[in-house]
Amino acid sequence: MSQRQSHQHENIRQCRQPQHDGIHVEQSSAVSILGSCISTGDDCVSIGPGSSDLWIENLFCGPCHGISIGSLGWNLQEAGVQNVTVKTATFRGTQNGLRIKTWARPSNGFVKDVCFQHIVIDNAKYPIIIDQNYCPDHNKCPSQDSGVQISNVRYEDVHGTSATHVAVKFECSKTNPCRGITLDGVNLTLKDKPTTALCPRNGNNVVKPTTCLKEE
């Protein structure tokens, strides 16, 4: 997508295309994705470098890999992602729900000012995840510290069920820890049982509520 586009009421089904995203946004600003129902083999919506002022509302995803900011940071000189809002979205039978993923390379990119609001997640394996050691095939992984700075990310009114006991996982960079990550009204259960949140290496007082700050 290029600058200043509105993508509305789109039903996208690519279940037999395992490596295809439903909608990919990159190097674009002022983009709206409204009223979309997406079923695909990879990310429902993927947000790449250079994306800003992105508004996604009334979205249904599943089955798919969920919504992803990234992957980012493979190129050392890379534009950042900022001002992204995902509002009123449902994820059903997805691998992930809300994901930010960056390669473990010293890139100069960033992710900032992101809001996930009024989200329903139904049986996702990883409902909320930040992965700054992204390496999907686990082959020849960079094994460095991600230089992508993630800051001011808010998860508000996110509820539903997780397919695993770890419903929230923030695996941030050692050298560029996540800043200003806020959880407000997050309620994710596993078959009516409590779930856990793992937030190692995020530094002090950067994730709220602080009960999420527990080591693996």
Give CA–CA dist 87/34, Å, rounded: 10
CA–CA gap between residue 90 and residue 71 (Å, rounded): 22
3-state secondary structure of 1: coil
Spatial distance between the Cα atoms of 67 and 86, rounded to a whole number of angstroms: 9
Q: Which of 21, 42, 43, 131 is catalytic?
A: 42
Catalytic site residue from 21, 43, 65, 131: 65
Residue 90 CB neighbours (<10 A): 18
CB-based contacts of 194, cutoff 8 Å, min separation 6: none
Active site residue 42: yes
Question: Among this protein's residues, is 165 annotated catalytic?
Answer: no
Residues paired with residue 36 on neighbouring β-strands, in sequence order: 59
Active site (catalytic) residues: 42, 65
